Chains A and B, each alone.
Chain A
Amino acid sequence: MKKAELVIVGGGPAGLSCAIEAARLGAKVLVIDENERPGGQLFKQIHKFFGSREHQAGVRGIDIGTKLLEETAILGIEVWLNSEVVGISKDKHIWVVKDGKTSLKVEADKIVLSTGAIENSLNFPGWTLPGVMGAGAAQTMINIHRVTPGDRVLMIGSGNVGVIVSYQLLQAGAEVAAIIEAAPRLGGYGVHTAKVRRAGVPFYISHTIKRALGTDRVEGAEIVALDAKWQPIPGSEFILDVDTICVATGLTPLAELAWTLGCCFQFVPSLGGFVPDHDQYMETTVPGIYVAGDIAGVEEASTAMEEGRLAGISAAAALGYLSGEERERRCGEVWDRLNSLRSGPYGEGRRKAKELILSTEGGIACDRAI
């Protein structure tokens, strides 16, 4: 059986940052990712990121991904691609399916789960028609595979994912017929909404989809206004001429592996739902199992990278590559940067939610509680 000191499940910004940090400190690291190329969401993010210079503000996500891959290569970090982790036992034996056919086992001393998040779906009549897809799927098509999913798109959801993918659809040459939002206010950053608005894309707040039209594929969408209690207003329906419907209604942490390991969870709606409980070193309630990035609460790539560093530093220290004092100092530096990212009207809510997780003992589905 293959042995590794530190196994990182998921090679997105969190996993790669974790691997780089731990490998620099001397740990033998193995990164396992199900895709043919590591980087997670980053290679789809062709827009410039926010933040300060130390958070690589102004750099496009795709370029941040390329940099992480270069560092991973320079450090000689082992990366298994096309490899899906399908199970982890309590004694840290990891079951991997490679290339969809070979079954492998890895024994790890420490494990970091950085599996990211999954898009929420939305059910409405016609939602199974070809042409209805997650906004992330549309983004993968335009920015990775370079094909547009359709000519005229309806975007459901005005959060950052909805508006950024709308902008990128325009850049790819599609039309965005409208962005609809069930809430009475738009969700995404104003600079993102302003960008698509001046490109001529209308927003409809307090509106939702009633049904998708078409028999073999999407041929239109029926939209309806909502009242103050989020109930459809009869007679307010209208039809949008679209051939594609994108759903951008939030993300949920991808935490099945943490559930099966018996980690405690907390339910935090502002972070996407059930989140594995963790401390300020990103360790879960199961010793030696860490989480980082969207699995630990849906945020952003910039925070995911910082959390990855925290997990990398902590795991390396637990493996004996760092003194307790050094761990404190290094984690403190990362925490300063995290706190500055989690400030302002958008970040404050996430900071408070994170603080709640750190200050609460145990949680739901806890082995200790059973």
Chain B
Amino acid sequence: MTVPSDHPGVKLSGAPNREEVRNCPGYPGEEFAKKGPIVFIECVEEIPCNPCEASCPRGAIKVGKPITNLPVLDAEKCIGCTMCVAACPGLAIYVKDYTYSETEAAITFPYEYWPLPEKGQEVTLVDEMGEAVCQGKVLRVANPKQYNHTPLVTAAYPKEFFEQVKSMRRLNK
């Protein structure tokens, strides 16, 4: 079993590390992370941006004023509906479900590359550094108009890699 990657973090290696993600107010916290479908917001820098707030039908994300505030997640209200995943201009949000099946978890992430994977396809899932973590099976590819060309891919993968997986390796043209 691989250990969640450890690296110097967003300003040195490009991606936020485990500590930065866990300290971010968009992290659901230990109690909620594995209870069911829930959002993880990896927004670690105060930039002027707030579309996630209005996108949530349950008011679970709060940015407020000034709009440079980091988004704060109310994990109790979030049902993992994925509306904010496509709305985030920074593509910094994904939804995970630890309870997907007995042995598998599921992740829904934004994927703006061509070609899109197909339902049922086996793909390589990667961590925030782009390193392969494990194989996963695509459950769904959603690309409705309101996502404005940010398709969402949902994939199932072994539970033991629950935390590491963030996205998938790009497919060859």
Contacts and interface: CB of A to CB of B under 8 A. Distances in A.
Interface string B93-133: 00000000000000000001110000000000011111000
Interface string B64-99: 001110000000000000000001011110000000
Q: Which of B11, B46, B148, B169 has the most CB of A within 10 A?
A: B11
B141 interface: no
Contacts of B50: 51-53, 57
B48 A190 contact: no
Contacts, number: 129
A71 B24 CA distance: 40
Interface string B121-153: 000001111100000000000000000111000
A200 B12 contact: no
A50 B90 contact: yes
Interface string B35-64: 000000011111111110010000000000
Contacts of A51: 48-50, 67
Nearest to A48: B89
B117 to A, nearest CB: 15
B22 interface: no
Given A51-B48, A199-B130, A346-B47, A193 B14 contact: yes
B90 A191 contact: yes
A55 B49 CA distance: 9
B54 A53 contact: yes
Contact of B170 (A58, A185, A199): A199
Q: Is the interface of B mostly helix, strand, loop or mixed?
A: loop
Contact of A344 (B11, B68, B127, B148): B68
Interface residues of B, number: 42
A198 B128 contact: yes
Given A50-B90, A191-B91, A340-B66, A198 B127 contact: yes
30 contacts: A50-B89, A51-B50, A52-B49, A52-B51, A53-B54, A58-B87, A58-B89, A58-B148, A59-B148, A170-B170, A171-B114, A173-B114, A179-B14, A190-B16, A191-B47, A191-B89, A191-B92, A195-B91, A197-B128, A198-B126, A198-B128, A198-B166, A199-B113, A199-B170, A200-B169, A200-B170, A203-B13, A340-B48, A340-B66, A344-B46
Contacts of B126: 198, 200
A185 B169 contact: no
A189 B16 CA distance: 11
Contact of B11 (A47, A190, A200, A341): A190
B51 to A, nearest CB: 4
A198 B170 contact: no
Interface of B: 10-16, 42-51, 54, 66-68, 87, 89-92, 112-114, 126-130, 148-150, 166-167, 169-170, 173
Contacts of B45: 189-191, 344-346
A190 B128 contact: no
A345 B87 CA distance: 23
Nearest to A163: B14
Interface in A343-364: 343-347
A268 interface: no
B12 A185 contact: yes
Contacts of B51: 52-53, 57-58
